[in-house]
Structure 1
Amino acid sequence: MNVTLIIFILVYVAMAFGKLPGLRVDRTGAAVVGALAMIVFGAISPKGAWEAVDYRTLGMLFGLMVVSTAFVVSGFYAWLAQRVAIMPVSPPMLLAILIVVGGVLAAVLTKDVVMVAMTPLLVSITMARKLNPVPFLLAFCFGVNTGSVGMISGSPQNMIVAQGLGLSFSGFIRVAALPALLSFPVVWAVVAFMYRGRWALPAGQDAPLPPAGTVPPLDRWETIKAALVTLAVMAAFISGHWPREIIALTAAGVLLLNRKIASNDMLGHVDGNLLLLIMGLFVVNAALDLTGLPQQWLHDLRNAGVDLNNPVTLCLVGGLLSNVIGNNPTVMLLTPFLQPGVDADALGAALAVGTGFFSNLVVFGSLAGIIVVEQAARCGVRVSFMEFSRAGAPVTVCCLAIALAWIMYLT
């Protein structure tokens, strides 16, 4: 038991710090090494480790990643960014448009792929309009994080929550879409207020645009094909007649069978590291579960007055914990110990909305935050930790108020 607990703690230390202290082992590496260590030290059998991996969640995530990347390789994101760039609107109105566009795209097409594809383009279009890119990058990131909460397809943690609590696609929308939509005006109001009078690009500041040829031209047929497949996926999800992972994988297969775009180009945009991280955490968490310690901790928490099956408590605990170890590890850690019953909807909303809305508090609260900071830096735009949190903290507090009011309404 001691070895199992030590391995578990080391893995989640890496989740919190982004790497194991003193070693060049990132979160994905720590999850994979931790899973292997659990097997080597006998904390879980090879068969048990294989069975611990939820192929349904991984299949759905992989399939939806491929669907989303179809829009990347078709040039849709670049075309959309260019259309937004030439719109004759004021900076506050442009901010509102980007928040809504980012949030809706993230809900349907998985937020991390959207963030990777759009960040360099946002830098380009704001620079072209002589605007300070920082407020637009922050607002887009905040909108992506909160908007992705609205649908299962929005993020890996949504998929894990839905699978773990047995929520249907339409059922998830019913409990999460409204707070996601209500978050958009909050994000706009906070960022517009904080950057009022500071829309213009500071004198002397410049940033390199993406090199020519790196942004693919719009392929209308491939975009239409991807859109039709996406609509078919959403319709099949809503119908509930087939397993969600089969629907997503079938859609991926259809899109990969292509005469114009190489499958390797599409698969190159799939986040394999994220898939490995989730697989590793499934094994690590299952090994700890075999010790009986999580059940004891849950019992102790209840005795201390902290009941994770209370939706309000779950929202706060899940949200705070997600800023320590990350969204995906948090939902994977908490979901197995929930007893949904008649409160499945409220618990699902609490965990999905809590982790999603808290993502804007700090840069490392979500992968989307890390992506926007790192991608912007590559384009010559610096978004500091403090600047991110200065805008992200009030956004988080206001959105959290919406989330708690909604959760109490559901209960």
Structure 2
Amino acid sequence: MPNADEARVASPNGLRKLISVALKEPVLSILVVVLAVVQSIRPQPWLALPRLVDWPTVMTLAGLLMLTKAIELSGLLMWLAHRVVHHVRSERALACLLIGLAAGLSMLVTNDVALFVVVPLVLSLHALTPLPVKRLTIFLALAVNAGSILTPLGNPQNLFLWQVGAISFGRFVAALAPLCATLMAMLYVMAAFAFKAKPLDLSRDADAIPVDRAYASVAAVLFASFVLLADSHHAGIGLIGVAGGFLWWRRDAVLKIDWALLLIFVLMFIVLRSVAALPAVHETVAHLHLQTPLRAYVAGAILSQGISNVPAAIMLAEFTKDWRALAFGVSVGGFGLAIGSLANLIAVRLAKQRGVWLSFHLASIPFWFVAGILGAWLLQHL
């Protein structure tokens, strides 16, 4: 057994490690604490908690994480980005191109993954020519939130609403296209004023990006197949095929995904559905009469500012079945405060720019306000 001196040394080290983990994964830590509080208020059997999880949504997210990781590891996205970006001539053109690239990628590989591609690209380009990195990062965060609105693959809340609504891929895209197009148009208008038309000096080309063609080709084929299976509500079969295939051939596509994100998503279902089941919460939200589309929309846009748009979608889905109104609301809710979308936090963290928090909110809060008005009009008239 350890003596008293050893115990005194071990205890602070253990506490420091615990604090370090909590700081690295604050969302996960908060969810664990909230779960403990909810369990103390209204205890449920621990073995019954997994029934609160929407497993088809989690399996869809897991499969997409593996596939996007494979595409990322193949080098294809970075190769394409570098090839495209060296055909521009001005700061404004580069900004518009990066906004389009970020939005386009977010429609296919989720908004978070798009940021992990585009923000590092901005930082590497900054080493070649001076760029307004802080401003570009803010616009890229807005771009992935706006672009990811279009498809069920764009972000976790869309994945959830797609599965819960039991609707086809095409119907989801058609329903969200007007909002996505409107917000992207707003973003490009802002970019026209925020970035100058001065020429760029990109004479020093970046290092060549090697592409593993076999890896990229297989990942692309599996990606399309998995989406078709998820669309037909067979995400579990698709996940077994994707995970099994990569574990046998290229296990890094499975081992290197963001497992913490999956755990956070599982805990969000458990915690928020447990909170929604509390009598006080249920009565409060029930009195909001979320059966009407506009009320569900406003609730999603506002609640996202406090608990982020993914938890807001999960919670409000307990009180309304209008998936389109919820999708509109939590999509708009991704703007405003940084907590509105995890993508905002990722972008700010990747950029590592001083003063970026204030600058971000000076742009995102007005954007959220205008987007909220336009989104409400589109919801009621289209």
Q: TM-score scaled by structure 1?
A: 0.78
Structure 2 distance, partners of 1:334, 1:322, is 10
Q: Aligned in 2, Cα 1:141/1:152: closer, same or farther, shift over 3 Å?
A: same
Tell me if structure 1 keeps the 8 A contact 2:92–2:197: no
Q: Which runs of 5+ in 1 are unaligned?
A: 1-19, 202-209, 302-306, 341-346
Task: Specify the alignment match of 1:293 in structure 2.
Answer: 280
Structure 1 distance, partners of 2:196, 2:363, is 13
Task: Specify the alignment match of 1:250 in structure 2.
Answer: 241
Task: Specify the alignment match of 1:365 in structure 2.
Answer: 340
Q: Aligned in 2, Cα 1:359/1:286: closer, same or farther, shift over 3 Å?
A: closer
Q: What are the residue-to-residue correspondences of 1:12-411 with 2, within 5 Å?
A: 26-35=26-35, 38=38, 43-196=43-196, 217-238=210-231, 240=232, 242-258=233-249, 261=250, 263=251, 265-301=252-288, 307-338=289-320, 340=321, 347-377=322-352, 381-382=353-354, 384-410=356-382
Structure 1 residue 249, shift from structure 2 partner:
4.7
Q: SS at the partner of 1:128?
A: coil
Tell me if structure 2 keeps the 8 A contact 1:139–1:188: no
Deviations 1:226-256 (A, max 9, x none): 2222222334445x2x423433453343344
Q: Aligned in 2, Cα 1:88/1:292: closer, same or farther, shift over 3 Å?
A: closer
Task: Specify the alignment match of 2:5 in structure 1.
Answer: none
Tell me if structure 1 keeps the 8 A contact 2:147–2:184: yes
Deviations 1:84-112 (A, max 9, x none): 33113322222222222211211111111
Tell me if structure 2 keeps the 8 A contact 1:376–1:383: no
Q: Aligned in 2, Cα 1:250/1:406: closer, same or farther, shift over 3 Å?
A: farther
Structure 1 residue 62, shift from structure 2 partner:
0.8
Percent identity over the alignment is 24
| Greater mean deviation of Cα atoms: 36-45 or 71-80 | 36-45
Paired letter, 1:267: V
| Greater mean deviation of Cα atoms: 284-293 or 112-121 | 284-293
Tell me if structure 2 keeps the 8 A contact 1:95–1:188: no
Deviations 1:320-359 (A, max 9, x none): 2112111221111111111x3xxxxxx3232223222332
Paired letter, 1:337: F
Structure 1 distance, partners of 2:332, 2:369, is 9
Paired letter, 1:297: T
Structure 1 residue 197, shift from structure 2 partner:
6.8
Q: Which runs of 5+ in 2 are unaligned?
A: 1-18
Deviations 1:117-162 (A, max 9, x none): 3311222124423322233222222111111111111111112222
Tell me if structure 2 keeps the 8 A contact 1:110–1:153: yes
Q: SS at the partner of 1:336?
A: coil
The structure, 1 or 2, with the larger RCO (C-alpha pairs under 8 Å, 6+ apart) is: 1
Deviations 1:264-307 (A, max 9, x none): x3235422222222222322234344443333223433xxxxx3
Structure 1 distance, partners of 2:364, 2:200, is 21
Structure 1 residue 216, shift from structure 2 partner:
6.8
Structure 2 distance, partners of 1:386, 1:198, is 26
Tell me if structure 2 keeps the 8 A contact 1:357–1:399: yes
Q: Aligned in 2, Cα 1:370/1:128: closer, same or farther, shift over 3 Å?
A: same
Structure 2 distance, partners of 1:83, 1:387, is 30
Structure 2 distance, partners of 1:313, 1:296, is 16
Q: TM-score scaled by structure 2?
A: 0.83
Tell me if structure 2 keeps the 8 A contact 1:38–1:44: no
Number of matched pairs:
357
Q: Aligned in 2, Cα 1:369/1:287: closer, same or farther, shift over 3 Å?
A: closer
